[in-house]
Structure 1
Amino acid sequence: MTLLRATAHLVYSYQSGSFLSAVEQIGASRRVVTLSVAGAVAGIGWWLLRWWTGPGGSEVSTALWRDEGRLPLRRSLGSAVLSMVIVGMGASLGREAAPRLAGAALASRLSDWARIGTAHRRLLAACGAGAGMACVYNVPLGGALLTLEVMLGVVSLRLALPALATSAIATAVSWTVLPPGPTYQLPKATLSASLIGFAVLIGPLAGLAAVGWVRMMRIAHEHRPTGWRPLVSPLLVFTAVGALAIPYPQLLGNGKDIVQLTLGTQLTAPVLLALLVLKPIATAGSLGSGASGGLFTPTVATGALLGALAGHGWALAWPGPAAGFTVLGAAAVLAAAMQAPVAATVLMLELTRTIDALMVPLLLAVTGAMLVSRRFDTPSIYSVRLPTQ
């Protein structure tokens, strides 16, 4: 995280304030140039990394489900560093990929040194990945549930104890560097009949959106370039994203600022609609170009945009808390995209530090989204990145 912040502050020449504010203050041409440089760094960096480390993947999902919890340490740490750098430069990818990958790779290497068996190596690698997620977003319980529900696919007492312990320790250690407060500042949202009604509506819509989102990520991953093309593909795609950022600077970065803007009702309906279309395209294009990064925050941002846009129309007929509409959309899309309703619910509650007013409508929205996504047999955004056999 220190590397990501240092990169962003260096590239965009700012000392304080939000990443979006810094992007908005620089000229249009500099946005394009910065993203072009990020694309060049991504293309050359990952090509050199593959040349240096040889064959072998550096995906947490692949390691857990196909490779007995084994991750190549040099490839994984190198990929994590590159991911942090390009996200700090404005790539439309999530920042959580790097700590997840580093945590899992270190756990894998320590397991090998200790000569731990396959089952325990896989467990520890998953715990390392979940702990990386937990410390970045200050979500210890959500990180533990992500370990169990998403990475291991089962929730049991035997597995829960190490998952909870590692996420708690990682989060506590991160407080020495990162602020312990919530990731998103949520205006007060009171429980209302309007919010309950909106939850029933937004759930199925979010489920459909999650189906489309996951399919986009699958197509992007399946069409990642091979041979010499990874050298130039990120340059071309990132330059295009930089051009789109001239009218829509919110596209740059992982999407954290988009979520905060929607929570504060600071975006008009036309801008919400444009970002709802362009943010998934920018993320899928960045992933499909050969760059490596996370999908957690881009998924939350997509759901927040959907919830805020739908809330605009809903409020015309039945006024309610705009921030609540946004949170419900974000949680529902996240749950359906990850295929993890419990983890997604807890993650959104921890990210916003709210529970009383939103718990019941949030559960209704998540349930509706899960029913629709399961109807289409939708996999998780993490499992679609598994290599085909």
Structure 2
Amino acid sequence: MAGVLTGVVGALLTLLLHGAQHVVFGAGGHSFAQEVRLASPPRRLIGMTVAGAVIGLGWWQLRVRMRVIRVRDALGDPPVRLPLRSTTLDAIAQIIAVGAGASLGREGAPRQVAAAVAEVLCARLGLDDRHRRLLLGAAAGAGLAAVYNAPVAGVLFAAEVVLGTLDYIAVCAAALMSCIAVVVAWPVVGRDAVYHLGAHATAPNVWVWVVLAGPVCTVAGIGFNRLMEAARRGGPSRAIHLLPLRITAAMAAVGLVAMTLPGVTGNGKSVLEALVGRGGLPAGVLFALLVAKPLLTAACLRGGLTGGLITPSMATGGALGALVALGLGHDQGGLSMVVCAMVGAAAMLATTQHAPIMAGAFMLEVSQAPPTLWLPVALSVAGAWATPRLATGLKQL
């Protein structure tokens, strides 16, 4: 039951995401990135500013009138329950904000609603705290799986990130729920890869980056996480009556930068699409995205917006990997840039989520990568896992 309902939730939120982006940027393109590029620069700024004002007013009223509980809080404290109404309204605001161009991931909203639906089922079935926690964690992973057509990543996210256990009952429940949710969401989300890989090849000197990606992206990922934590400390708990103004200002800031750098909008999918399937990006644009994407993501969080960080961190890592490819002498948009970008994205995600297995599986699954890319991605996430442990060991010596 939870798997079926999670698939429905994923499909409905995906439709809402597309509707929001059509309203703000126009419906003339075949993808979010194309719609943003086709929209005139003034429309990007004005559309995002107006959307920020509307979202800010809605979120302000929600937070004044209702209590919003996070999935992590409900899992960590058994007496705390996820209220379906406020959780769903908060998720709707999140998904509209991402569709309107906020520099945040879309995976947070389906995770929340799926867990809230599972909470209702647990109450109706009278499940104890242990099985309630298992079901909520599995539902959160299934929500991620449904919107990205990534059942394996959904299972690993539930086990490695949300629940922190490899208990066979938890893994089996998460697997069943994720697979059901993905199939139910197929009519809307589709069965194709999220990122369509172009032609690619792993040149000999790319293996240098494969080995170094773990340590480099560990440092970059730690910086990314610290920036986001600092931004959250200035988030919605401060000056609640100013929330509409703060959210409007954050959206306007993204829109202002998007007038000349449209890739900063949304969850970062457009950046990765350009790097792995559309011939790459110039070095100047890559450097600008590497700096602007995390800064604007932090600005959105500080302004009071909430959302996921999976795809923004992947976009940052992908831009870093593509810059490394250029530094290694490969052509802009060349065959090896695809590999470098994927390796950077996977290593960055492994660091920011503290989940190397999930990160590698997610990157390979959303791109439906061929076996030739499995080893580079696996080595990069292994390096991201090993680097902090080696650093800790050296400090102890």
With normalisation by structure 1, the TM-score equals 0.91
- Distance in structure 2 (CA, Å) of the matches to 1:271 and 1:325: 16
Name 2:292's counterpart in structure 1.
Answer: 278
Does the CA-based 8 Å contact 1:189-1:358 persist in structure 2? Answer: no
Does the CA-based 8 Å contact 2:330-2:336 persist in structure 1? Answer: no
- 1:27 positional shift: 2.1
Name 1:243's counterpart in structure 2.
Answer: 256
Change (3 A) 1:34 1:376: farther
Change (3 A) 1:215 1:374: farther
Alignment counterpart, residue 315 of structure 2, candidates 301, 321, 339: 301
- 1:60 positional shift: 1.9
Does the CA-based 8 Å contact 2:37-2:262 persist in structure 1? Answer: yes
State the SS of the aligned residue for 1:193: coil
- 1:66 positional shift: 3.5
- Distance in structure 2 (CA, Å) of the matches to 1:8 and 1:149: 32
Q: In the TM superposition, what are the counterparts of 1:123-142 in structure 2 within 5 Å?
A: 123-142=134-153
Matching of residue 66 in structure 1 with residue 77 in structure 2: yes
Matching of residue 42 in structure 1 with residue 34 in structure 2: no
Give CA-to-partner distance per residue, 1:298-343, whole Å, 9 cap, x none.
11111111111111102359x9711001100000000111010111
Name 1:346's counterpart in structure 2.
Answer: 361
Give CA-to-partner distance per residue, 1:216-254, whole Å, 9 cap, x none.
111111111333122211111211111111110111111
State the SS of the aligned residue for 1:357: helix
Alignment counterpart, residue 104 of structure 2, candidates 93, 97, 100: 93
With normalisation by structure 2, the TM-score equals 0.90
Does the CA-based 8 Å contact 2:78-2:129 persist in structure 1? Answer: no
- 1:156 positional shift: 2.4
- Distance in structure 2 (CA, Å) of the matches to 1:65 and 1:265: 44
Name 2:181's counterpart in structure 1.
Answer: 170
Alignment counterpart, residue 254 of structure 1, candidates 259, 262, 267: 267
- Distance in structure 2 (CA, Å) of the matches to 1:293 and 1:300: 15
Does the CA-based 8 Å contact 1:208-1:369 persist in structure 2? Answer: no
Matching of residue 329 in structure 1 with residue 366 in structure 2: no
Matching of residue 228 in structure 1 with residue 248 in structure 2: no
- 1:192 positional shift: 4.5
- Distance in structure 2 (CA, Å) of the matches to 1:244 and 1:373: 34
Name 1:381's counterpart in structure 2.
Answer: none
Give CA-to-partner distance per residue, 1:251-305, whole Å, 9 cap, x none.
1111101101111343111110000000001111101111121111111111111
Name 1:117's counterpart in structure 2.
Answer: 128
Give CA-to-partner distance per residue, 1:128-184, whole Å, 9 cap, x none.
111110010000011011000000111121211000000000001011222101100
- 1:373 positional shift: 4.4
Change (3 A) 1:185 1:68: farther
Change (3 A) 1:373 1:245: farther
The one-letter amino acid paired with 1:357 is: T
Q: In the TM superposition, what are the counterparts of 1:76-225 in structure 2 within 5 Å?
A: 76-224=87-235, 225=238
Change (3 A) 1:262 1:316: closer
Does the CA-based 8 Å contact 1:72-1:105 persist in structure 2? Answer: yes
- Distance in structure 2 (CA, Å) of the matches to 1:353 and 1:130: 19
The one-letter amino acid paired with 1:228 is: H
- 1:68 positional shift: 5.6
Change (3 A) 1:52 1:375: farther
The one-letter amino acid paired with 1:274 is: A
Name 2:385's counterpart in structure 1.
Answer: 370
Does the CA-based 8 Å contact 2:141-2:178 persist in structure 1? Answer: yes
Does the CA-based 8 Å contact 2:84-2:120 persist in structure 1? Answer: yes
- Distance in structure 2 (CA, Å) of the matches to 1:376 and 1:82: 41
Change (3 A) 1:290 1:67: farther
- 1:100 positional shift: 0.8
Give CA-to-partner distance per residue, 1:70-104, whole Å, 9 cap, x none.
31111100011111111111111111111111101
- 1:374 positional shift: 5.1
Does the CA-based 8 Å contact 1:68-1:121 persist in structure 2? Answer: no
State the SS of the aligned residue for 2:90: helix
Does the CA-based 8 Å contact 1:58-1:101 persist in structure 2? Answer: no
Structure 1: runs of 5+ lacking an equivalent: 378-389
The one-letter amino acid paired with 2:366 is: L
- Distance in structure 1 (CA, Å) of the matches to 2:386 and 2:47: 42
State the SS of the aligned residue for 2:187: coil
The one-letter amino acid paired with 1:269 is: A
The one-letter amino acid paired with 1:362 is: V
- Distance in structure 2 (CA, Å) of the matches to 1:154 and 1:221: 27
- 1:193 positional shift: 3.0
- Distance in structure 2 (CA, Å) of the matches to 1:195 and 1:38: 42
Change (3 A) 1:375 1:86: farther
Does the CA-based 8 Å contact 2:211-2:383 persist in structure 1? Answer: yes
- Distance in structure 2 (CA, Å) of the matches to 1:66 and 1:252: 35
Does the CA-based 8 Å contact 1:70-1:122 persist in structure 2? Answer: no
Name 1:291's counterpart in structure 2.
Answer: 305
State the SS of the aligned residue for 1:293: coil
Name 1:3's counterpart in structure 2.
Answer: 16
- Distance in structure 1 (CA, Å) of the matches to 2:306 and 2:316: 19
- Distance in structure 1 (CA, Å) of the matches to 2:372 and 2:102: 35
Name 1:382's counterpart in structure 2.
Answer: none
